[in-house]
Structure formats: C-alpha cells, structure tokens
Structure 1
Amino acid sequence: MTTVDVICYKYKPLKNGELPIKIRICKDRKTRYINLGVSTQAEDWDFEKNRPKPSCPNKEVLEKLIYNKISEIKRKIVELKSENKDFSAATLVENVSNPTKFITVGELFKQHIHCLEEGKRTGYRLSIQQTYNSLLKFNRHLDIPFSEMDCNWLRRYETWLRKQGKSENTIGIRFRNIRVIFNLAVNMELVKQENYPFRKFKISKLHQETAKRALTKEEIQTTINYPTAGKDFYTRLAINLFTFSYFMGGINFVDMAYLTEKNIMENRLIYHRRKTGKLINLPMQERALLVLKEYKDGNKPYLFPILSTLHKTEQQKLNRLHKVITKVNKSLKAIGKELHIPIKLTTYVARHSYATVLKRAGVATSIISESLGHSSEKVTRIYLDNFENNQIDEAMEYLK
C-alpha cells in the first residue's frame, strides 16, 4: 500500500513563524516528504482533517496546489505499477521532484562502466562491474535513488558481504567503488550533499593488512636462477617474467604483456602504466635484457609471448591475460614449493620484493616505498616522477 496525503508540518516552524505544507508519502513503513514551497499560520490549518480552515486567507489557492500535487503523485504511482516497476517512497519522491534529472543507482553504475570500457580501462571496469553485480545480488535491483543508499543500507550490505565470506579487503574494494559512483552522483547533483553517507560510514575501517609478499635478496636470487633448461613453456615464462619484473621497477604482469619495441629507447624502458597512466622511465638492467633476448622476434608485435595479433578486441586480450597469468602463477607456486620459499610465489611477489630490497638497502622511501599496493602506488609514482633519472639509476644499482 502507498498512501499520499497532505500535512502541515508543525515540528519545524519557519523563521516567520508559519508552518510549511508538505505532501507525505508512505510505503513499506518508510515515509518521505515533498515540500510544496508554501506555508500557513497554525490557526489557519485544520490538523484533524488535514486541510486549510474555511477562514484561511489563501484557502482556494492552497487546496488547488495540494490537489494538483497529490494527483501528479498518484499518476506516477499508476505509471510505475503499469510498467511493473518496483518503487519506494524515496524513489517516488525523486521521480516527482526531479523528473528530468532522476538517474537510479543502477543507471549511473552502467554509465560509468561504459565510460571505462570506452577508455579501455579494462581492469578497473571489471572491478566496478563486480561491485555492480554484487549489489544486484544483494538488493535484487538497483532501480533506487542515491538518497536511499544511506548508512543503514550500507551497513546491511556490509553484513551481507560478510555472510558471503568475503575478505576484509574485498569488502573495502566494494565500498570504495560505491563511493566513487556516489561522488559522481553528488557532482551531477543527482543527490544532495546532506544525503552523502560516507561521512558517517567510514571505509577506512574496512582494511586488512595484507600478508607480506616480499622475499629476501637471497630468496630472490634462488628464484631467478632457477634452472629452466628443458622445462615447459609456462615454467620458463614464469621465471622470465618474475626476473624482468624484479629488475625493472616491479613492473606488473599486465604492463609487461603490452610492452613493444617502442618502449625501449636509448637503453631505457619507458612506458605508461595502464592502471594509473603515469609515465615510468627506468634504465634497462643487464639481466632484464637477457630475458628479452630469449623472446626477440621481429615478426611479433609484443616483447613477451603473452598477447599476439590474434587478440584484437579488449575482451579477447582480457581473456588471454587471465589465462596466462593463471598458468604463470601456478608455475611460480610450484617452483616456490620446490625451492622451499616461505611464501606463495606470484608475479606480484617480484613487485613487492623490488621495493623491499631497495628499502632494506637504505634507499629513501621518497624514491620507492616498501609496498607497491593500492595504498602506496600513487605516492610512489609521484615521487618517481620528481626524481632525476640518475638518482633512480643509482638506486637501482642495489638490485644487482
């Protein structure tokens, strides 16, 4: 049941002493109000019958305004029901109050996902898509206004995620993605600042310290010197990618996959990180050059045998990257067990190890930080950009 009626809101008198007249909408025990923008003196309103008294100076004007607004709301209810669309009191208010600007949570999510797809930000798009899919499973639909996504709604979603067995970091990612979309909604004036829930709902609490994924210098040497002669393709590729990443600034798997001859200029590796767009400029290390030499083939577009001319669309590339990283990390895990490495080997371990070895050698944290995770990558990139090449060159001598 949905009820629509008029009230004279006596709880918050205006500065002139008059009481605002509002339309009250109730559905599923939730109440929302639409301010008609008019007011009256308390003595001119019949609070039992909820209408202006016969003695009210503007009785006819007020009654016409009230009738028109209630009729408009009831028409909207019939329209929504005829289209078999579920709605809440909040949704109804948004539809009536901002009919041209009303964009649901689901619609803005899909718009943002499309923009990321157009910008070929595949990894980030996938993260936003996963959050969207998760919210759909939780709420069954996202045909809701942003004002409905309040603190209580977010807490229920958090509880639901925990019941699903999601890790603290996964939950944190979900909420950071929601905050991104909510910030877009605020900037587009789809929701008022006072309805912003993240002032009270703190995302910072949703963080779990990730187990250290860095090796000692001795463990790194043991790994990169692992004998690959006679081994299968993915075992050799796994060691080569790990080695290249360690010696070349902790470059991650996706960035390595997209490297071409154009990224090597005057014996330097120069590329833009696909994740952040930041320019990386590092001296080529001898061991890294030996890795590239093994795969040198002028007929192939990429330096590593991960992507090829067969992978034309973004989806084909994404599928290929997923397939290769899965097999590479499976090989690294097996190698780690064989070498009795105390932590599970992945390509990302090389990235962490690069940063950690430099720090242990006394390199300033302003040049490279201990971790290259999400919380520190941005800071690291900023500082790398601000240092001269020779300072970075000297720092990387510690890797040898």
Structure 2
Amino acid sequence: MATIQSVLRKKPNSAGLYPLAIRITKNRKSSYLFTGQYIDEKYWDKQSRRIKKSHPNSARLNNLLSQKLAEANEKLIESDNENIDHSVAKIKKRIIGKNKLDFFSAGEIYLANLLKNKKFDQHYNQGRRLQVLKDFLNRNHLPFSDLDVSLLKDFKAHLRYERVVGERTAINYLMLIRTIYNFARKEFGVDDKNYPFGKGKIQIKFPESEKIGLNIDEVLLLETSQDLSEAQQHAVNTWLLSFYFAGMRVGDVLKLKWSDFKDNRLYYRMGKNQKLVSLAVPDKAKVILAQYKKEKKDKDGLVLPFLKETNLKNQKKVLTRIKTITRNLNRRLQIVGKSLGIEKKLSMHIARHSFGNISGDKIPIQMLQKLYRHSSITTTVNYQSNFMHKETDEALEKVIGF
C-alpha cells in the first residue's frame, strides 16, 4: 500500500528557501511531486504537515497542498482499484498524467520563482522572451509533446529573419526554453521521450562575440576631455570609475556608497553574483571621488547622484532605474565620444572591455581572474583571449616579415 504526504524537502535553492512537495512512498521507496513553491523552513509545521499561519501566503499555499494531495489520492485509489501492484515510479507517473502540465504553465511557475528570489531583471527579460514565443505560436497552451526540434528550428528562423535578432540573442531564447523544460522534468516529472535538446537535436552553442575596448590614447582623451555639459561629465566620470575599478559593472558603480571606502580601499559586493570585492583606490579614482565628496551628507550616502531619489530597499525599482540611467549614460557617452573623435561605440559596458584590452598580455591570467572575480580561470582565459594579441601578432610577422 502506497502512502502520500505533503513534505518540505531538505534541499534549499540558492535563496535558502525549501521546496514544498508531495511524497509518494511504497515498499520503503519514495518519489516526490514538486509544487514549484518554496518557503523558509521556519514556516513549516512538521506535525500537521502544513504551512504555519505566520506565513503571509499560508492560506493559498495550504489550499494548493490540499488540492495536490486530493488529486494524488484520487489517482492512487484508481490504481488500487485496478488491482495492479504498481511501482512508486509508475504511481507518480499516473498521478502526474500525460497532459497535467504544459510548457507555458511550467514557464509561469519558473517566472514566479524568479520573482520570489528577487531576480527582477531576469524575470523581466525572460517574461518578454516567453511572450515572443506565445506570439509566434499564436496560442497560450503548448503541450511538451508539441515542443519538438522542428518547432524550435522554425522559431529560431523567425527570430533571426523576421525579428532580425543576432545569433547570440536567438540562442538566449533557446536557452530559456531548455531551462524551463529541464525545470519541468526535475520538478514535475515531465517525460523525457520528447526532449528536443542534445546530440542530433537542438544544441546550444554560443557564437564568439566581438569584444572591442578603448586603447590607452582613447582613455586619455576621456580623462582630459573639457567643455562638457554637467550631464556629460557625470557620464564620463561614471565610465572612468568603472574602468579604474577593473571594469566594475555599471549597476555596482551607481550603487557605490561612501561607507564602501575604508583605508583607501573599496569594499563592495557584486550585484551579479554577490561576491565580495576589495580593491585599492587608484589615485585617478580619488580625483573623481573628491568632486562628489562636496555633496556628501552622511557616510552611508550614495557617491553618485543618479539613484539618490530611489528607494534602495525596493530592488525592483532600483533595477528599473538602473536600466533607464544606463541608457541615458550611454547616449551621453556617444555624444562625448563623437566630439573627441573616438570612432568606437562608447558605452558603459565597453569600460570592462577597455580594461581587458589595455591589460592584454601585461598581467598574469591568475591575477586577472581575481580582478574580474571569475569563479573559473577558464572564464578569464576565454574573456581575455579577445585582447591578447602579442603572441599571434609575432607569429604572423615571423611568417610574412621577409
């Protein structure tokens, strides 16, 4: 006889939240049906196997658990009435059912989890990509059995030649589809037999992207630029701070506080991966910081003026504001670049490429890994290979320099 219970699994996600699941047990073997919902462990009542009332969404989540338990028990009773001794895996498959969950439903659960984990930027971008797929298909229901190689090839062609996006952008759409499919396989037991990714099917391969940074002369032009408007000078200062701090990402530059600076060092946590960074403050950066220190009101105040009217506790609003500010900065940088005769497209992101370009072959790759805060040295090697030309240039010259 199989038993079915609601449980809180002991495998937290990256946000430290635990998944709610339905456990099916038979002959001491267990399998799990995941609800796609996560909670803090403190809200789980082990005795009653329910979410405590202190959780802000306890009623809704307990209703969801009750519904899932009722559906599972109904299928279990049907299985028992057939007098067939099913394994726990077959019972789970029967409970899920072939058409229980479609791709877009799984996508909505995936997006909801991004919101719960406060990944607002990802939620916004991935939500838009899912909508593009819905518009392409002109429907809001997509069984996993329909999501085959042929459909994905047609969708990629639509992206490339009708929406006219780049190869890398098209791959980002396919990556999202694969991520949601894998999420549904893991959390809801979606059948693998129609899985459209892998060898001989759809393979995810990112094309090499061109990374071009400014050279020393071009950075000097920015450092010595004159007669700029106030807005343009703010943009140049922001770019230079990013460059001086090893290609610091624009969101991190905009959120710099005076309290991040101690004993002539900068201490901050990267917004992208929450890694801690400590860098010496270069003299060139001190000159720029001194310009803004005149407006300093308290030690926890922001260095740059762009986010001063934004509620920093509201991460969603902060990310939205950073997007808008970055667009404005890039627009002003392009005007400055044109006036200085810089032919490369000047943007905040190119500050990181410029640091890589000027460092080139000068700095050991292990040190660059520390400066970039890459988890893997392979990432650093792949990134820096865009800017390390000395050996290949010398090799070329040895062949043709006769």
TM-score, normalized by length of structure 2? 0.63
> Could you say which residue in structure 1 is the equivalent of 2:231?
234
8 Å Cα contact 2:374/2:380 also seen in 1: no
**Superimposed CA distance per residue, residues 228-275 of structure 1 (whole angstroms, 9 cap, x where no aligned partner):** 5xx333201111011101110101111112222332233222222212
> Could you say which residue in structure 1 is the equivalent of 2:396?
none
AA in 2 matched with 1:156: D
CA separation of 1:135 and 1:345: change in aligned 2, threshold 3 A: same
**Superimposed CA distance per residue, residues 62-87 of structure 1 (whole angstroms, 9 cap, x where no aligned partner):** xxxxxx99xxxxxxxxxxxxxxxxxx
CA distance in 2: counterparts of 1:125 and 1:308, whole angstroms: 25
AA in 1 matched with 2:216: K
Q: How far is 1:331 from its partner?
A: 1.1
> Could you say which residue in structure 1 is the equivalent of 2:149?
151
AA in 2 matched with 1:126: Y
AA in 2 matched with 1:122: F
> Could you say which residue in structure 1 is the equivalent of 2:363?
363
8 Å Cα contact 1:252/1:348 also seen in 2: yes
AA in 1 matched with 2:288: V
Partner-residue secondary structure (3-state), 2:279: strand
Which protein, 1 or 2, shows the higher relative CO under an 8 Å CA cutoff with sep ≥ 6? 2
8 Å Cα contact 2:266/2:280 also seen in 1: yes
Partner-residue secondary structure (3-state), 1:193: coil
CA separation of 1:167 and 1:281: change in aligned 2, threshold 3 A: same
Among 108, 111, 116, the residue aligned to 1:118: 116
**Superimposed CA distance per residue, residues 350-371 of structure 1 (whole angstroms, 9 cap, x where no aligned partner):** 11111221124x21233327x9
Partner-residue secondary structure (3-state), 1:366: helix
Alignment of 1:60-99 (within 5 A): 98-99=96-97
Q: How far is 1:99 from its partner?
A: 4.3
**Superimposed CA distance per residue, residues 265-292 of structure 1 (whole angstroms, 9 cap, x where no aligned partner):** 3322222221222222222112112222
8 Å Cα contact 2:96/2:188 also seen in 1: no
Q: How far is 1:342 from its partner?
A: 2.4
AA in 2 matched with 1:238: A
> Could you say which residue in structure 1 is the equivalent of 2:332?
331
Alignment of 1:1-400 (within 5 A): 98-99=96-97, 102-162=100-160, 163-199=162-198, 200-204=201-205, 207-227=206-226, 231-296=228-293, 297-299=296-298, 301-311=301-311, 313-360=314-361, 362-368=362-368, 379=376
> Could you say which residue in structure 1 is the equivalent of 2:34?
none
The percent of aligned pairs where both chains have the same amino acid is: 22
CA distance in 2: counterparts of 1:100 and 1:147, whole angstroms: 9
Structure 1 unaligned regions, length at least 5: 1-67, 70-94, 385-400
8 Å Cα contact 1:245/1:351 also seen in 2: yes
Q: How far is 1:126 from its partner?
A: 2.3
AA in 1 matched with 2:115: E
CA distance in 2: counterparts of 1:172 and 1:140, whole angstroms: 21
CA separation of 1:305 and 1:355: change in aligned 2, threshold 3 A: same
CA distance in 2: counterparts of 1:253 and 1:311, whole angstroms: 18
> Could you say which residue in structure 2 is the equivalent of 1:15?
none
8 Å Cα contact 2:265/2:281 also seen in 1: yes
AA in 1 matched with 2:349: Y
Partner-residue secondary structure (3-state), 1:198: coil
**Superimposed CA distance per residue, residues 190-247 of structure 1 (whole angstroms, 9 cap, x where no aligned partner):** 323333221020120xx3433332111121111222125xx33320111101110111
**Superimposed CA distance per residue, residues 160-214 of structure 1 (whole angstroms, 9 cap, x where no aligned partner):** 112221111211111122222122112114323333221020120xx34333321
8 Å Cα contact 1:169/1:208 also seen in 2: yes
Q: How far is 1:137 from its partner?
A: 1.1
Q: In the comparison of the two structures, how many residue pairs are matched?
A: 284
8 Å Cα contact 1:113/1:125 also seen in 2: yes
CA distance in 2: counterparts of 1:265 and 1:119, whole angstroms: 31
Structure 2 unaligned regions, length at least 5: 1-77, 80-92, 382-402
CA distance in 2: counterparts of 1:146 and 1:259, whole angstroms: 45
AA in 1 matched with 2:270: R
AA in 1 matched with 2:168: N
Q: Which has the larger radius of gyration?
A: 1
TM-score, normalized by length of structure 1? 0.64
